[in-house]
Amino acid sequence: MTPDPAEMLHQARALIPTIAGRAAEAARHGGIHPETVVALKKTGVFRSLQPKRWGGLELQPTDVYDVEMAVGEADMSAAWLVGVLGIIPWAVALFDDRAGEDVWGGGKSDLICCALRRAGQATPVDGGFRLTGRWAYTSGCQHAGWALLGGGSGPPPDGDWLLLVPRQDFEILDTWHVAGLKATGSHDVVVKDVFVPRHRAHRMVDLFDLSGPGQAANTAPLYRLPFGLVFAGGVSNAAVGALQGMLDRIVADLRARGGPSRPNPDLDFIVAEAATTVDEAKTMVRANFARLLAYAERGEKPPIEFRLQVKYQLSLNTERCRLAANRLLEATGASGLYDEHPYGRIVADITMGRRHITNSVPLHARDWGQVMLGQPRRHDFML
């Protein structure tokens, strides 16, 4: 691994042909090829946001997003795993430092999957909690050695917790049979009355307040960013890469054939629009996260209105990618429907990614609009 994000991105881009060649098979089998996961681990992307003192690189969220978007050009499912599994080590750095010892001590490099919704019962007991529950949409769980799961011990928000559970304490149910993002393997996981020590539990409301016991040891500004926005980038930027990959394939195919069979001004417009959608999405992400980091470096919390703006704009990127991808698919005509092209799969993947609650454009537009109009906003750990 290298602490140079440019080299990490270079290594990830070198994997694009291989990942693209495996994408159709990965979708059919409902999971990313294990060798792809190993190759991505070697780039260092899954340790990008892990503290240096625990063997990580301590880079920036945008460095993960750059790799995510590059991998998305080959396969959005693989990119989705980069985004989700690459972000969670950042959250673990906010836990009591003993959790870092559990997960990373001795140079361990296990991946950490997550299902953040409060779908489990966390019953307080001496020294921690007894956790029971079933969680859906646990992307990449087959490749993970740990799971970060949402559980409740009482009324929200104070009774909402995130709890770290090792692989031997959760069962994977084969439930991920879906229309898109098939290879993410986002199956359900089940935990049955497992003890979770207190140091492996983190109150969700503290994430909203940008606080955690791990900050005493992990002092970089990186660990004073809003959790919900770092996570939202992980589940939105894969669509940007997927749209770029679709556009590149269509352009390359048309050039190989000497251009469209007849002049098509609509296609000219749609191709230009898709390229601009990608460029604007990347520009927005970089500008917003640079501003968030500037707040962290000053030791300040970003205003709630700006946090809501970032959340909305990240979700809007996925919707704009969905619309652009559908227009590209329509512009390919009947030939674009054949399996020899990945266009239908890419559109299905982007559409599925847009369905994630974090990418809900109407929800986040209303939230941001309400605050702009002077209405109160509830505390939400996903901001």
CATH code of the domain containing 286: 1.20.140.10
Same domain? 319 vs 238: yes
Same domain? 121 vs 84: no
Same domain? 328 vs 246: yes
The tens digit of pLDDT for each residue in 241-282 reads 999 999 999 999 888 888 776 667 788 899 999 999 999 999
User: Of 77, 100, 123, which marks where a domain is finished?
Assistant: 100
- Split into its structural domains, the chain has a count of 3
pLDDT above 80 for 284? yes
Which residue range(s) make up the domain with 285? Answer: 227-372
The tens digit of pLDDT for each residue in 96-129 reads 999 999 999 999 999 999 999 999 999 999 999 9
Given this model, what pLDDT does residue 316 score? 98
SS3 state at 112:
strand
Q: CA-CA distance, 310 to 317, in Å (whole number)?
A: 11
- 379 falls within a domain: no
Given this model, what pLDDT does residue 86 score? 98
Given this model, what pLDDT does residue 379 score? 61
User: Of 43, 67, 100, which marks where a domain is finished?
Assistant: 100
The tens digit of pLDDT for each residue in 195-246 reads 999 999 999 999 999 999 999 999 999 999 999 999 999 999 999 999 999 9
Given this model, what pLDDT does residue 378 score? 63
Same domain? 234 vs 366: yes
Q: What percent of the chain has pLDDT over 70?
A: 98
Same domain? 341 vs 253: yes
The tens digit of pLDDT for each residue in 130-187 reads 999 999 999 999 999 999 999 999 998 889 999 999 999 999 999 999 999 999 999 9
User: Of 154, 188, 203, which marks where a domain is finished?
Assistant: 203
Same domain? 75 vs 178: no
Q: CA-CA distance, 361 to 365, in Å (whole number)?
A: 6
Query: What is the band of 376 on the pLDDT scale with cuts at 50, 70, 90?
Result: confident
Do 139 and 84 touch, CB atoms closer than 8 A? yes
Same domain? 86 vs 127: no
Same domain? 82 vs 118: no
Given this model, what pLDDT does residue 261 score? 65
pTM of the model: 0.96
- 222 falls within a domain: no
- 219 falls within a domain: no
Same domain? 267 vs 320: yes
Supply 372's token pair. Answer: 């702009």
Do 325 and 347 touch, CB atoms closer than 8 A? yes
Same domain? 240 vs 334: yes
